[in-house]
Amino acid sequence: MEGVYAYWIGWGLWTIISFFWPKTKRRMGYAILILALLIVLPLSIQFGQIQFHLAFVLFSIYLSWHMKSYEMSRLIHVFIVSITIAAAHAGFQMLLIFDPVIEYTDSRWMASCIIAIIAFFLSRNLKDRLYVALIGLVQGELLTSMVLVRHMRIEQTIGDLYFFDIVAIVSVLFSIVWGFQQISIWIADQLISESKQRVLKQSS
């Protein structure tokens, strides 16, 4: 069922941000953004012969706005990595059409893992990895839809629930990585503090 991951993960994330984050403008901004995306997720708009989901348009605008403060060198890096992710995503979707036997499990999880792995190895920190993965997904969705509509005459709404399921799964994968990093940092701090205490006791 398309959309199940987007709705469940979206509402879960909105609940965490709304009730567990500190009361700041950042919390309010993220909560409003996620709530707006969930509300407009079923809605679509049409430009000529091309149909977009409204949530896809808002999501693309937010990602573009987020990059407005990036330096030129960082923008070039984001562009190169996101194009790589877009090509990988579009290529995988074409493979699913021409050779569906490769779908060993849910294709949304397969696509998400491919995107997360590429972003992980081609970006430096977790925040950059998540953003280039999402930007690459947006570009890959546009590339896939262009190929389907122009060359295969297959009608498709750009940014459908399948796309947002992948967005949700990618976000969860990076959240899990962030969680492991925080646990590792906490364990390292505990070990360092214990070693310091032992040294102080020995010196005394």
pLDDT value of position 166: 93
CA–CA separation, 130 and 120 (whole Å):
8
pLDDT value of position 85: 94
Q: How confident is the model at residue 186 (pLDDT cuts 50, 70, 90)?
A: confident
pLDDT digits (tens, 9 = 90+) for 100-146: 777 788 889 999 999 999 999 988 888 888 889 999 999 999 998 88
pLDDT digits (tens, 9 = 90+) for 50-68: 788 888 888 888 888 888 8
* Contact between residue 119 and residue 130 where contact means Cβ atoms under 8 Å apart: yes
pTM (whole model) above 0.85 = yes
Torsion angle, CA of 168/172/178/181, rounded to 10 degrees? -160
Q: Which of 20, 162, 10 is nearest to 96 (CA)?
A: 162
CA–CA separation, 41 and 129 (whole Å):
24
CA–CA separation, 192 and 196 (whole Å):
6
SS3 66: helix
* Contact between residue 96 and residue 103 where contact means Cβ atoms under 8 Å apart: yes
**DSSP H or E run through 46:** strand 44-47
Q: Which of 145, 179, 173, 139 is nearest to 160 (CA)?
A: 145
CA–CA separation, 159 and 136 (whole Å):
13
Mean predicted confidence (pLDDT) in 192-201: 71
